[in-house]
Structure 1
């Protein structure tokens, strides 16, 4: 561009102006996405002096255009000359951080956070910090909410006087008249606390945390849960007890179920942050109440954390707390009227067996597992079955087998195909745990039934399952038990079942080896070459190509080649195409003399 004439040198800006004034939103959006290319053409100096000011002045547009602009500017540092000049990007991003649309503001803040680290300390104080102050004092709540996300990225790199000013501005945002601003301040309070000095956290931020935790808006209060975790991780046990626990106790008993839900959802993080002593003295009782909360959403969130909560308890009192405080609640939740609560519990309850050991599991947990295996909700039964490995390590799955089988059969025949699909994925795990004899007697026929399912995704998953079962039980089992049933489907009147045979052969050849492939699978394939359905015939050609690595040259010459040559002359164009592809593929693998 520098070598061109005057008209050439102004062309990118002129084109951009025309495109951004066009009524077509798609055209304007496309021009914004080309900004980096235009900046490269202009060079860093003209980008700073012409392009960025132009973008700053044309900030009013459709939200999707502004969103694209905010994203582009976050990656513009090299295009304006690097860290020495990165501050020139602040002006357009500041304007974008004040617009009404939330997603645009959030993207602008994200870009501002990205380029904050590119600023040199002097530029941070002279350019970035003033931007944060302006936003935090803006007339519209939009700018003040955006400001909340910027304090933490600049605080640690400025001088003590500026730090003090930033803390004061943040405290004002925490006390803002507008709930949306207080909500933004509460959401970023923990992040800001992590970069502040310990004394300043205690002196400035904890009072703000306490005020926000008592806010009249539950949407503000629930965000203080995460802030309490971040702040607690910065303090010792005595400081947590003195400065935080009175507020945290109030949060855990909040009148709003949304706040209690957030407590339940973040409970194990809070448990880790407040240390062992406070967990024993306060959190165990609080967790007990959450598991018995009046709202099902809270109980479900708490139930999800049962295993993690118990695992993190001090070892010297772990089993005692589990038996006295947690297990009574767990026994109630097994029969909870809400299926989401029961499903959440079923996903974690098996993990308690490692804490209680063999005898405790058999006495206290086994009856609960058996109850859940008979639950009317498929999700509950499925979650129990999917976590059987935990129990198997402690007591062996044989204790569950009598109740396990009916539950598996029910899930395998469930009307929802996604439930059937989910149970298929756990069959190899169960096969390894139950053993070959149990599998052959109870589950083998079930696996074959899935191969005939009306839903393609089920048939596909069932064929892939066969490969895992052969890996588990070995080639001899495949030869004697599996292959006869699979290959028998090649004679089924339904062509979809015959196709399933081909798909099964494709996945089984790798694990069954050359001997079974050539002696058992190949003859069936050759016979199917005369199938009446073109879809089957061209899949025969594809399958023969797949089996090439597992066959000897003599077999390819005497059996495969005649079959493919016949298919090449087929009346169906697709059959001829795939037969030709197969011959070419084998020639490429074995040499053109084939």
Structure 2
């Protein structure tokens, strides 16, 4: 019993020490993650007197361990005795807040911010504020960076005298010689501003804001754009223009494109913050400048904000501003040399249709839309077609078709097959935008005509297009409008068109199902087994193998297999090979099918006369 009494193997502290000394880093991390359990076992007094000093001793450990520790300490307030003793957590967190690894510092600061709310006003002044001052006065840059995030959480709860000291400390950080410290201060200026009184914002923050907005480094200046949003939300309108707008307009014309880009990114937030009157006098000219900026990244960012900016304009001057001050610059962006700018514009330009109404849409937006529809970049075309519904709802399907159909027909019959291919690829999207009735009346014949195009890539794309349209409009539509016209190609004099029938049946069978395939498409495939062209016959064998998986076994036995067996006796070696392959696949299970795949093809079958080569 004496030995048992002296055995401290079950002592939580001893176990923790042993695990923290282990070479396995994952074991040490796991130990840190169990600190709350150990603290519960020790009780609040031993946690304060023994566990926390031990934690301070392990600050030399790996970053992963320190990261886990910083996270754990943010939840430790109840384990040290509640808010009355929460200041005991400050020393280890202060050490973590000056660590070299940024992610460890950030987690420590996050925990410090969390426990700051659990300090009483007296404890804030006695313990938390001195910590902030030590970090501000620290020789290490890391120390001052961490301090920047702590002002907003401790400032509201301290006395006026201490507030004055904190303001001075923050001013010092904003003018620090180190760029990274000034960036950290700039990043936190907005949060700090939110906890200040309006008079302090005017007297203290605006001068700091002005200095940072004129900093020699653009990394600092661009951070001031978001701060400008925060300040603008807090200041009354009567002083907003004089104090903020001058700096904002300077940022919109900054020598660094990164600053101008940030202004474009935050433009609609700024617009909301400053209100309609200042927008009209100050932001509209700034937005015009951004739309014609010489850097494409800035023009693209401004273009993305075009719709939202116009929507947020006051109704009493919105239409006039759009027509006279925004659209003229938009017309230039339609032919911008950078495809990302045009793509950005294409994604939003049709959003102006509901704002401008039918007549203005036809007069001003339609020409831009048609120009973007002809753009050489696929993303531009996709973006503008994807938003076609916005225009359709405003001007109606009839007027839209009057303008759009000539362009579609022009592109669909372009001498360059790649242009025709683009329209085919977007046809399902257009069909969805227009609806079945309009599609049948205006576009259906065009889609079918592509099946007999002289370029194989067009015929292949047209085949896949039919599948997507059937998925959209349903099997009944396919049976009435598509399948009969596809099957008539089986009698075409050109064998390439007859093969297109087979390719269409291959893909349509997937979406039409067993019943339609068996009753309406299978007879044509079986009939084509007697085609005089070998290419057609071996594609019949391949089609039977393809659609055989959805047919009933009785149909396979009575209709499909006899034809395949006949084709195995064909005079053409390629026809015989593919017929035998189809027969084997349809007759045998997965294992035999795998064995078949391992068998080499006959030499001649390796030179399949596919339409791809024609």
**1:441 matches 2:459:** no
Q: 8 Å contact 2:342–2:380 — kept in the other structure?
A: yes
The Cα shift of 1:116 comes to 3.5
User: 1:322-364 CA distances to partner (integer Å, 9 max, x unpaired)?
Assistant: 1221111111111112222222211111112222222212212
Instruction: State the 1:64 CA deviation.
Output: 4.1
Structure 1 pair 437/96, CA: closer, same or farther in 2 (3 Å)?
farther
Asked whether the 8 Å contact 1:190–1:230 carries over to 2, the reply is yes
Q: Does 1:35 align with 2:32?
A: yes
Instruction: Check whether the contact 1:47–1:79 (CA below 8 A) recurs between aligned residues.
Output: yes
* Distance verdict in 2 for CA 1:186–1:406, change over 3 Å: farther
Going from structure 1 to structure 2, the CA distance change for 1:378 and 1:474 (only over 3 Å counts) comes to: closer
Q: 1:101 to 1:37 in 2, by over 3 A?
A: closer
Match of 2:15 in 1: 12
Query: Structure 1 CA distance, aligned partners of 2:71 and 2:52?
Result: 14
Give CA-to-partner distance per residue, 1:499-521, whole Å, 9 cap, x none.
Answer: 99899767666xxxx97699779
Secondary structure class of the residue paired with 1:376: coil
Change (3 A) 1:466 1:213: same
1:430 is aligned to 2:433: yes
Structure 1 position 16, deviation (Å): 2.4
1:118-267 pair list within 5 angstroms: 118-119=118-119, 122-267=122-267
> Bigger radius of gyration, 1 or 2?
2
**How far apart are residue 453 of structure 1 and its match?**
9.1
Which aligned pairs between 1:398-547 and structure 2 lie closer than 5 A? 398=401, 399-404=403-408, 423=426, 426=429, 429-430=432-433, 432=435, 434-443=438-447, 469=469, 473-481=473-481
Structure 1 residues 571, 113: closer, same or farther in 2, change over 3 A? same
Moved more, 214-223 or 567-576: 567-576
Alignment of 1:270-289 (within 5 A): 270-289=270-289
CA distance in 2, matches of 1:161, 1:503: 79
What's 1:268 paired with? 268
Determine if the alignment matches structure 1 residue 380 to structure 2 residue 380.
Answer: yes
Question: Deviation string for 1:300-319 (max 9, x for gaps)?
Answer: 21111111111111111111
Change in Cα spacing, 1:32 to 1:384, as seen in structure 2 (3 Å) is same
Give deviations 1:112-151, integer Å, cap 9, x for gaps: 3344345555544443333222222221121111221222
Residue in 1 aligned with 2:591?
573
Q: What is the rounded CA distance, in whole Å, between the counterparts of 1:8 and 1:218 in structure 2? A: 58
Counterpart for residue 586 of structure 1: none
CA contact (8 A) 2:331 2:368 kept: yes
Aligned 8 A contact 1:307 1:352 in 2? yes
Give, in whole Å, the separation in 1 of the partners of 2:17 and 2:258. 53
Q: How far did 1:470 drift? A: 5.2
Counterpart CA distance in 2 for 1:383 and 1:532 is 42
Cα distance in structure 2, aligned partners of 1:111 and 1:291: 43
Q: In structure 1, what is the equivalent of residue 294 of structure 2?
A: 294
Pairwise CA distance, 1:299: 1.4
Change (3 A) 1:127 1:404: farther
Q: Which residue of 1 aligns with 2:98?
A: 98
CA distance in 2, matches of 1:150, 1:409: 66
Q: Give the distance between the partners of 2:451 and 2:80, measured in 1 at CA.
A: 63
- More off after superposition, 389-398 vs 183-192: 389-398
C-alpha distance in structure 2 between counterparts of 1:147 and 1:453, whole Å: 63
Query: Match of 1:328?
Result: 328
The answer for the alignment partner of 1:548 in structure 2 is none
C-alpha separation between the residues in 1 aligned to 2:504 and 2:218? 56
Maintained 8 Å contact 1:432/1:472: no
Equivalent pair of 2:97/2:146 in contact (CA under 8 Å):
yes
Instruction: Note the C-alpha offset of 1:235.
Output: 1.3
TM-score (norm 1): 0.75
Partners of 1:420 and 1:47 lie apart in 2 by 71
Can you list the C-alpha shifts for 1:476-505, whole angstroms capped at 9, x where unaligned? 2033345679999xxx9xxxx999989976
Cα distance per residue 1:553-586 (max 9 Å; x no partner)? xx99x889999xx99994533979xxxxxxxxxx
How many Å separate the matches in 2 of 1:72 and 1:400? 62
Separation in 2, partners of 1:75, 1:523: 74
Deviations 1:252-301 (A, max 9, x none): 22222221111111111111111111111111111111111122221121
Q: Secondary structure at the match of 1:208?
A: helix
Aligned equivalents of 1:499 and 1:54: distance in 2?
A: 75
Residues 39 and 47 of structure 1 are in contact (CA less than 8 Å); yes or no, is this contact kept in structure 2? no
Report which stretch shifted further, 79-88 or 307-316.
79-88
**Residues 33, 72 of structure 1: 8 Å contact kept:** no
1:430-473 CA deviation, whole Å, 9 max, x = no partner? 35385333342234687999xx999xxx99xx79x957x55753
| In 1, Cα distance between equivalents of 2:162 and 2:61 | 35
Which stretch shows the higher mean deviation, 3-12 or 388-397? 3-12
How much has 1:71 moved relative to structure 2?
A: 3.9
| 8 A Cα contact 1:97 1:108, kept in partner | yes
The alignment partner of 2:11 has SS state of helix
Deviation digits for residues 2-34 of structure 1, max 9, x if unmatched? Answer: x99522114431232222xx2xxxx31452144
Distance 1:29 1:200, change over 3 A: farther
Counterpart secondary structure, 1:70? helix
Structure 1 Cα separation of the partners of residues 211 and 120 of structure 2: 35
Give yes or no for contact 2:293–2:299 (8 Å, CA) kept in 1: yes
Structure 1 residue matching 2:149: 3-state secondary structure: coil
Question: How far apart are residue 78 of structure 1 and its match?
Answer: 5.7
> Distance in 2 between the 1:448 and 1:194 partners?
68
Deviation at 1:221?
Answer: 0.8
The count of corresponding residues between Structure 1 and Structure 2 is: 537
Secondary structure of residue in 1 paired with 2:99: coil
CA distance in 2, matches of 1:291, 1:189: 29
Residue by residue over 1:135-193, the C-alpha shift from the partner in whole angstroms, topping out at 9 and shown as x without a partner, is 22221121111221222233334444433333222222112222211111111111211
